[in-house]
Each structure stands twice: as C-alpha cells, then as structure tokens.
Structure 1
C-alpha cells in the first residue's frame, strides 16, 4: 500500500534520530579534530588517526537510516538541523573565546587551553561546514536514488555506494579548503585517500548493524519510504516521497 508523505511528527522515532545526528555532528567537530590518537596494530606498527574518526560510524549510520526509512526529504531536514547547529556552535565558540577572562589563576590558565582546543582557524571551520553540507547531501541523494533503482533490494549496495560518493566529496573538499598551501600536495593527497578508504571500510564493517536498525525501525514505524516523486533540491524543508505502508 502506498500513501502520500506522512508529516515528520507522525513518526515515533524520527525526532530522536534527528537529535542524535546533531549531537554526533557537534561532538565530531568540537571534541574530535583536536586530538590525534596513536594505537599499535599487529603487523602494521603504530597507527595515527584523528579522534574525530571515532564518530564517523555512528554519524553515517544515522544518515543511512534516515534516508532508507524516512526518505531524502526527511534526511534533508536533519542535515539542515546539523548545519544550523554547527553555525550556532561556531559563533558561540568564537564569542566565548573572545570574551575577557577573569583575572585569576584558574581562568588565566584556562583561556589558552580553550584557545588551543577550540580555536580552529577560519579555514578549518569553513572546510568542515562545506564538506559536511556537500558530503551528507550527496550521500542521501545517492542512497535515495539507488533505492528506487534497485526497488528496495540490496541495501548494502546503497549504504556502501552512497558512502563512496559522499565521503569522497567530503575529504576532497575539506582538506584543500583547510590546508592548501600549508601541506605539500603529496601529503594532502595521501591524507585524502587514507581517510576516504578508512571511512568506506568502516561503512562496510558497520553495514550489518545498519541492516538491523533499518529493519527494526521499518517494523516499528510501519513505513518504507521511496523517493519516486521527490524534488531533490537541498533548498527545501517539505516532507515528500511515497510512504509505503508495511503490512
């Protein structure tokens, strides 16, 4: 059975997924990039990575689930909510860092620590926001289109295929915007390729988890959304798509 688009407030779990998406995005941009971690891998030796990568599997599960269950239009709302939250967090971080600190020992020590941890350059901020906006919209678009093409079959092709497209755009945009002229060309290409391959591999590993969450949500919500009549513009907040009611 097929019905017209159901308003987002008619779903039981959509708001929780939207809130989770925003929370993961803020954490990955505020507390993740400032720390480089090192672990020892057998046969490979020391392995370094940004702590922000820890949030990627969770964030992309949210993105895949939102598009697969609720459709592109509702995933679009979540992407804009995340983008707005990033803008607000960036503005408030700038405001807090530039307010005069109290003249005591604690705050004199705290101010430079906050500037080190949170004081990203404008290029890093712009790069993060542009890469997020383009990468997430591309991920959702490819996944929604592939669902229609495959008639809802072979979910793994959509989760991995959309990640390949979205993460390539994300990495190819962020690092040049943030570090061009500071890093050598070879170093930048190496970092872009490493992060791209790493995130695609993580998506492959996490696909069984995505399968379970998607199946559970489709049963709980009683819907399965196909974007057959959706306008695939990023610049809209309308609910669209055909909602196929599950028996």
Structure 2
C-alpha cells in the first residue's frame, strides 16, 4: 500500500509545532474516550463462542467487537498528531476509566430503595470487582502506550512510508500486552474461567484484535489521509520525549 496522502504535506518534527491548535484533535480525542469507555462497560466480561470449521467451538471475549477500534484511533492520533498528543489522550482515557470505576462502585453500593428489584442485575453488570477494574486500567495503560510508542518509532524508521506496517506492527505489540495483562489479572482462578478457556480466549482475543486492525487498514488510510490534509502537517517524533509520564507537547 502506498502513502500518497503524505506527498504534498509539510513534514515537521513534533517539537516544531509546539502548542499549535488543530481543527479535529479534540474530536478524535472524544471518539477515543467514548469507544474506550463503552467497550469496557458493554463487553469486557462476557465470554461468547463461535463454531469454527474444523476447529469447532472457540470462545472469545465479547469486547473484541468494539475495543480494537480504540487502537485504530490511537494509531490515527499518533500518526497524524504525534506521540505527545496521543500520550495526552491516553492519559485522558485512563482518567475516564478510573472515574468510571469509582462511579460504578459508588452507584452499586448506594442503599436500595424499597420495592426496587434490579440490584442483583445491576451488581452483575456493573459490580465487576477490583480485579477487573485493576486489570482494565493496567492493560489499557501498558497496551496503548506501547502501541503509540512503536508506531511513532516505526514512522521515523520507515521515513513515513508503509503506514500499514506500523499500524499492524504497533497493534501486535500493544494488543499482545493488553491481552497478556488483562485476562490473567482479571479472571485467573475464577470458577467460571478455567485455565484452558482463559488461554483460548487470550489467544483468540489477540488474533481477532490484530485481524480487526488488518481489516480496518483501508479505513485507517482514509482517515489518516483526510486528517493530514485538513491539518496541513505530517508530524514526526524526532526528538520527542517518549516517557509516558511527561504530559507536555
């Protein structure tokens, strides 16, 4: 795949643009946080199954349907706006996840009014417990920062060519870390998550997440090309401080 959308753009180092405002950065940030929160609420705990030819029934986590979109948006953020601005969005997502966890715990533990019968269902959906909350936060933090770091570094190494290699390559690293951290930390030792099933889900999650990235590559190319043309720059992270704890741009 080519990268013709970068030809007429001004290639600049991330430090050179400083705190310059961008037209669509805030909207991309909002999209990232929304997808991240909803995918963690709606599908994180449910284990589904699909009957594959030859292989037979294969379990997978339902969150796989939408969570990988957050990695696609992370790729777009890093590719278009650079690692430093992607880092700020990742921290915004982390803060939103932490607040969501506090909100869930608070609402679940509020006293129940007489006559309301939905508490058990509410606890089942939103009372995931400290393990799932901790696992989600740790997996998200490590996976997304690795994804963004690898993509930014690869963009320098490839001189901005072969976008597909860095979107897929960074996803392999980031999603691999995410799956390796989340599932054992969240579900290992639970009665309804036997070790065999846990291993199957981890593998299927990783394969499906990377597969999603491959399938969505044309969409990534289209969005990246459009945003770069709209913003008028092609950002490279030469000289960028890649520490995840530095929040400046």
TM-score by length of 2: 0.88
Cα distance, 1:44 vs structure 2: 6.5
2:102 to 78, 88, 91: 91
Secondary structure (helix, strand or coil) at the match of 1:224 reads strand
1:194 alignment partner in structure 2: 204
Q: 1:12 to 1:198 in 2, by over 3 A?
A: same
Residue 212 (1) aligns with residue 225 (2):
no
Residue pair 1:17, 1:62 contacting (<8 A) in 2 also: yes
1:242 alignment partner in structure 2: none
Q: 1:180 to 1:47 in 2, by over 3 A?
A: closer
Cα distance, 1:7 vs structure 2: 1.9
2:181 to 142, 163, 173: 173
TM-score by length of 1: 0.89
1:67 to 65, 74, 78: 78
Cα distance, 1:5 vs structure 2: 2.4
Secondary structure (helix, strand or coil) at the match of 1:230 reads coil
Residue 127 (1) aligns with residue 127 (2):
no
Q: 1:83 to 1:31 in 2, by over 3 A?
A: same
Residue 27 (1) aligns with residue 38 (2):
yes
- Provide, for residues 205-235 of structure 1, a one-character-per-residue CA deviation record: whole Å limited to 9, x for no partner: 1111100000000000101110001010000
1:245 alignment partner in structure 2: none
Residue 225 (1) aligns with residue 222 (2):
no
2:19 alignment partner in structure 1: 7
1:138 alignment partner in structure 2: 146
Give the total of aligned pairs.
235
Which deviates the most, 198-207 or 148-157? 198-207
Q: 1:18 to 1:166 in 2, by over 3 A?
A: same
Which deviates the most, 88-97 or 176-185? 176-185
Query: What are the ranges of 5 or more consecutive residues in structure 2 without an aligned counterpart?
Result: 1-9
Secondary structure (helix, strand or coil) at the match of 1:120 reads coil
Return the alpha-carbon distance in structure 2 between the equivalents of residues 103 and 72 of structure 1: 51
Secondary structure (helix, strand or coil) at the match of 1:17 reads helix
Cα distance, 1:143 vs structure 2: 0.2
Secondary structure (helix, strand or coil) at the match of 1:89 reads helix
Return the alpha-carbon distance in structure 2 between the equivalents of residues 155 and 117 of structure 1: 39
Query: What are the ranges of 5 or more consecutive residues in structure 1 without an aligned counterpart?
Result: 240-247
Return the alpha-carbon distance in structure 2 between the equivalents of residues 57 and 121 of structure 1: 23
- Provide, for residues 14-51 of structure 1, a one-character-per-residue CA deviation record: whole Å limited to 9, x for no partner: 00011111111110111222434455667776564333
Q: How does 1:33-44 map to 2 (within 5 A)?
A: 33-38=44-49
